[in-house]
Structure 1
């Protein structure tokens, strides 16, 4: 009697081939995300960052395309409408010259943001380069650049800006931005220098040098990407600080001058009407405070997202 369990027991009967072996599950190929990818995911889950970013985008749209917000000419004035309170058709009312105050506020965003952006780019280039070279080369290069940084760092920011702008006697977007760069690059240079000092001793940097990487490749390809995060955080906060600085200098009479529109000019011209017409001061101050606060909140969120120790 044949064994039914024998696969070859019956002649001519096909035997089913054994099932193919299941391939082992592929190992997870998900690599550790980079610092910036992790930071992006964290920022997209941060409601404070999202709200602050939306506010900044709205202000930027006011500066870039003011016609999206108002068709009213800010210089279309009529003294018969002087200091008329806000209404549905004119949500900010009229200023002391009878001009539509809402259109002044919208057009006032452009020079404030222009100065802040140009000045921030300037300190990134000047201060970032000084800190990068000082931290990388060390020795006499570091000594000279550090002493120059100390000299500029010792200048009082507000007093120095007032003196420079008084001497220049030409207040516009470019002169204000240049003065802010001259007085504001020192902190970012120190931040970059410290980041470079902590990065240039890392193993992968030393390995790149051992493989023949030159100074330029070592600095800009291996060290700078690892050292730029603190500078980005500080530059974001500085954007808000420069918006505030422009308004302060304009309020003191050494910044932008009429017929230029800016929030600082609006505050300076209407401070005397605060008791009788407080909205003339509250509207530009609200836009100024909201913009500065938004940049600070974005900078704080970036700091938390780019620092693995705070996660």
Structure 2
């Protein structure tokens, strides 16, 4: 019943509805749109260098004849995948670390929170900038892992605080007296009761990861050629943004719409999961 109430609240929120519609359309454009284009993202039209948008190249072409429509959608695919994977890894890590620290306490709590505090004071952007170039010959999955590694700490502290309160609840104590292993109690009783926080955190982490990837790729530390992302396309297009605006406008526009839609969904989820809101 709670899920139905949450969904009803979510879809009653105009901003959340617009965000969901926009996000679904953007995902459909990224993954279905390429089938309607005339060119693959790897193809080059040697008769159209830096061509403005026309009937053949809907969003124009690049300096080497690539179709902007095709490579922008390819870049958006990569950015969406990175955003979702980073959000899942970061939120999952925050849930596990925070719940174990809060439930067990003692030396485990001190060690885990010491690690969290250490990661919070480290200059994440600098570390990513130093490590990313060394992984250029590896899989882009390592880039996802690096982004996720510096995204989960604050949420883990919130999870820890909430777990300290939840571990004293009657149903948790009853599970302890029944002899259920503590790690099972955490995953069966503690983490599910933090689902509201974790869902909101995962949603907002998607937009944060997309922006983080775009920023790092803009400075050459993210996705490496020949692959593309919205960040790499924005970086390339910014050099000729005044003379050839389509090189910058379409990737930047897709990035803004993607981040805005996810943020609207996150805000809507926060309101829908708030017990104080009207059903």
- With normalisation by structure 1, the TM-score equals 0.82
Structure 1 residue 139 corresponds to structure 2 residue 79: no
After superposing the two structures, state which structure 1 stretch, 144-153 or 185-194, moved more: 185-194
After superposing the two structures, state which structure 1 stretch, 132-141 or 171-180, moved more: 171-180
CA positional deviation for 1:113: 1.6
Aligned residues: 278
User: Which of residues 180, 189, 196 in structure 1 aligns to 2:163?
Assistant: 196
Would the aligned equivalents of 1:62 and 1:68 in 2 still touch at CA under 8 Å? no
Residues of 1 paired with 2:221 and 2:138: CA distance?
7
Larger radius of gyration: 1
Structure 1 residue 96 corresponds to structure 2 residue 95: no
Residues of 2 paired with 1:183 and 1:257: CA distance?
21
- State the partner residue of 2:257: 290
Q: 1:71 to 1:86 in 2, by over 3 A?
A: closer
CA positional deviation for 1:288: 0.5
Cα-Cα RMSD: 2.0
| Higher RCO structure (Cα 8 Å, ≥6 apart) | 2
CA positional deviation for 1:40: 1.2
Q: Give deviations 1:252-287, integer Å, cap 9, x for gaps.
A: 011112221221121111212111222221110000
Gap regions ≥5 residues in structure 2: none
After superposing the two structures, state which structure 1 stretch, 57-66 or 99-108, moved more: 57-66
Structure 1 residue 226 corresponds to structure 2 residue 193: yes
Would the aligned equivalents of 1:191 and 1:231 in 2 still touch at CA under 8 Å? no
Would the aligned equivalents of 1:247 and 1:264 in 2 still touch at CA under 8 Å? yes
User: Which of residues 84, 107, 125 in structure 1 aligns to 2:51?
Assistant: 84
- State the partner residue of 1:183: 150
Residues of 2 paired with 1:264 and 1:149: CA distance?
28
Residues of 1 paired with 2:166 and 2:257: CA distance?
36
Structure 1 residue 303 corresponds to structure 2 residue 253: no
Residues of 1 paired with 2:127 and 2:53: CA distance?
39
Residues of 2 paired with 1:308 and 1:171: CA distance?
46
Residues of 2 paired with 1:237 and 1:71: CA distance?
35
After superposing the two structures, state which structure 1 stretch, 65-74 or 238-247, moved more: 65-74
- State the partner residue of 1:248: 215
Structure 1: 4+ residue segments shifted above 6 A: none
Q: 1:172 to 1:256 in 2, by over 3 A?
A: farther
Residues of 2 paired with 1:254 and 1:212: CA distance?
50
- Higher normalized helix content (fraction of residues): 2
CA positional deviation for 1:59: 2.8
After superposing the two structures, state which structure 1 stretch, 280-289 or 256-265, moved more: 256-265
Residues of 1 paired with 2:234 and 2:69: CA distance?
14
Q: Give deviations 1:157-194, integer Å, cap 9, x for gaps.
A: 22221122134343642121011122222123223212
CA positional deviation for 1:249: 1.0
After superposing the two structures, state which structure 1 stretch, 76-85 or 59-68, moved more: 59-68
Residues of 1 paired with 2:136 and 2:229: CA distance?
19
- State the partner residue of 2:238: 271
Q: Could you say what secondary structure the match of 1:295 adopts?
A: helix
After superposing the two structures, state which structure 1 stretch, 201-210 or 232-241, moved more: 201-210
User: Which of residues 204, 209, 229 in structure 2 aligns to 1:237?
Assistant: 204
Residues of 2 paired with 1:69 and 1:40: CA distance?
33
CA positional deviation for 1:145: 0.5
